[in-house]
Amino acid sequence: MEPLHPPMKRSRDPKDTRAAVGNKKSKSIQACMSCRKHKTRCEILNPGKSPVRCHRCQVLALQCSYEEAITPTASTSRLPSSNSESPEGAKTRAPKPMSSQLPPKDRLWSFVEHAGMDWSAPMLAIQQLSKLPHTHLHPPERPPPVLPPGELILMRIISEEQIRYLLDLFDERYTPWLNFKPATRMTSSLLDAVCCAIAARHLDDAADIKAQLQTLTEDSIARLIFNPRPSESVEAIQALLILSLWTPLGGPPEDSGRDGRLLIASAVSMAMNLRLNQASKTVAVLRAKNDGLLSAEDAEALEAALQNARLWISLTNTESMLCLGTGRVPLSRRSPEDLQLIDFPQSFDGLIEYGDVRLGIAASAFDLLEQGVGSRLQPGGDMDTWYDGITVVLEKLKRVKRLITPLPYVLERDQFYFHILHVYEGMARLLVLYFALWDARLSVAHIPQAQWWHPQFKPHSAGAVGEWGRDMVQTTEALLVSVLAADARHLGTAPDTIFTMVALAAGYVVGIKFLMLRGGIALIGASDLLLARIVSHLGDATCTPGHAAQRSAFLVMGMIARWEGRAGSTGAAVPASYPTPISENDASKATPSPSNFFEPSAFVGSAGMGTGTMLETDFNLFMDSTIPMDPNFWNNFMQTQAELVEGYP
């Protein structure tokens, strides 16, 4: 199976187009590449927004060729991409609000030569980094798909039998992640097309079918978003939710620029227009009616309200998962009725909807994550009160973990999907700690970087930084262990954002190793083996080239390469290459062809693989900017750990 194409090169000079952007795109400017390809109208309605995108690419969350060719006309939050930009372009850009409070060197994480990484949004930064290896390769271009004549509909791409096969495949492998039942089975052409496009990634030798399904899905979503009112329905909401979690694979490479946050925001807006956010309240009212003795009509209304409530809560969980840690605040909110509807059952006797239990646990974790991330220590704020609030959130997350722990072992089915809740809980805790440590450093930003700042941050006279640092190391390694314990076959069907979580956790482990190395000490444990196994496990979970699991595997591989390259100054050899994560379709190949996959070229010098030339990656600068604990802290950390395990052989 051939890899996806790299994004097409931009053919226009930015200098030629920069001055031509007004309130609308000038007629002298050629349409963006995506609009030219689809022969659609192309216009820029908001030139001051960063990145600049035409209206069509903006609403479809596609990568637009204007992003690199046109500079925003109004002040934006993007960092300058290089020092060679014109003075006029530099004047229109404002620094990031969080990172601008630290010295310039603390805003850098030179993981790759890529400007503009904002580590106040770690999940978004990892998503961007995971896409970089793809842009460094130039596989043979695949010819455009041959579309059937007439209107492109699902039945003209695949037969009814094939549709049923793909829908069954989606139900088996993807529906359990949703915790609600999609309204498929030939009842909704849009939803059926979306489910088939996602499930088609498991087909062998079906590049044309995948490309046509992807084109059909893109066109259908475009019509839905451009004119939502006539198409607003539960099925349309489900389709948008599914596409926000999984990207169709095997079609045009432009979908690599899809932003799931925009898709889920559209779904949430539709759901609110249809009043799905009030469904849990309707359920509560109907259940209390006549002491639970309902007429046939009320019983039918109760079942419909339950389905809508499950969909709404799934929307809120998905939006939290996609937005938190990316710098975007979720639009949806969970009501008290929502949380009561999905409360943890008193017992598991009788008929228990396991999907409802998972919805409730995930909602609890994400709700606490929103509380923790939303509680920011403002300059001059009460440090003790803020610390107490973070502590309460962390303690409540411990309760969530306690509820999760036995479920994969004591329940009779869906054990894998209960086990994966550990990843949700672990990432929620990791991000709460991440931003808490970020705020702690900003609260003492007056202390120079070279000085030991942690003793100056002591709410209630307690060493909070050390406490949180140890918690974060343990949480990160536990999260990665949970991923390793998950069956790779099922893990390969996980939402794309889960693999971003894995890469972020791995990046933190490597960053800690660099910081401790700078302090002349080592992180005791099996972290090297853990990271190596993560790469291998993500490779086993990869279902097709370009899959999010494979992209994350290469990103972690680059982190490992940079760590192993640290010994270059002492004469140790830098590995020339690393095992390539392969897909399930290539598992039978003893020696996969390198041309079939993405090489980790984003992490090597311009001379290419095998030269041993690694990019100047400064993990300690990243750690100084986000969780800035200097070598003195880690010396103290290791001393504390030694005291905790005193007497251990």
Cα torsion at 288, 289, 293, 296 (round to 10°)? -120
Q: CA dist 527 to 83, 476, 506, 524, 615, Å? A: 38, 11, 9, 8, 22
The three-point CA angle 438-603-95 to 5° equals 40
Q: For residue 627, give both structure tokens.
A: 């969780």
Instruction: Encode pLDDT of 118-161 as tens digits.
Output: 778 889 989 888 876 554 444 455 656 666 665 678 888 888 89
The most confident of the ranges 76-80, 373-377, 491-495 is: 491-495
Three-state DSSP class for residue 93? strand
Winning range, highest mean pLDDT, from 475-479, 507-511, 624-628? 475-479
Token pair in block for residue 643: 């005291």
Tally of helices (H runs) and strands (E runs) in the chain:
29, 0
Residue 523 vs residue 20, higher pLDDT: 523
Q: Which residues in 410-498 belong to E strands, given as ranges?
A: none
Residue 450: per-residue pLDDT = 62
Q: With 50 as the cut, is the pLDDT of residue 95 above it?
A: no
More confident residue, 601 or 556: 556
CB atoms within 10 A of CB 486: 21
CA distances from 525 to 313, 473, 474, 528, 643 (A): 39, 11, 11, 8, 16
Distances in whole angstroms, Cα of residue 374 to Cα of each of 75, 327, 370, 389, 436: 25, 11, 6, 11, 10
pLDDT at 437 over 60: yes
Peptide bond between residue 176 and the one before it cis (omega within 30 degrees of 0): no
Q: How far is CA 550 from CA 421, 497, 556, 626, in A?
A: 22, 13, 10, 26
Q: What is the pLDDT of residue 188?
A: 64
Paired strand residues for 604:
614
Name residue, tokens 């998905």.
Answer: 318
Q: How confident is the model at residue 598 (pLDDT cuts 50, 70, 90)?
A: very low
The DSSP code for 604 is: B
Q: Is the pLDDT of residue 102 over 50?
A: no
CA distance 342 to 335: 11
CA distance 591 to 407: 40
The model's pLDDT over 457-472, given as tens digits with 9 standing for 90+, comes to 889 988 888 899 899 9
Mean pLDDT over 584-589 rounds to: 40
For the segment 250-257, the average pLDDT, to the nearest whole number, is 55
Sequence-distant (≥ 6) Cβ neighbours of residue 486 within 8 angstroms: 416, 419, 420, 423
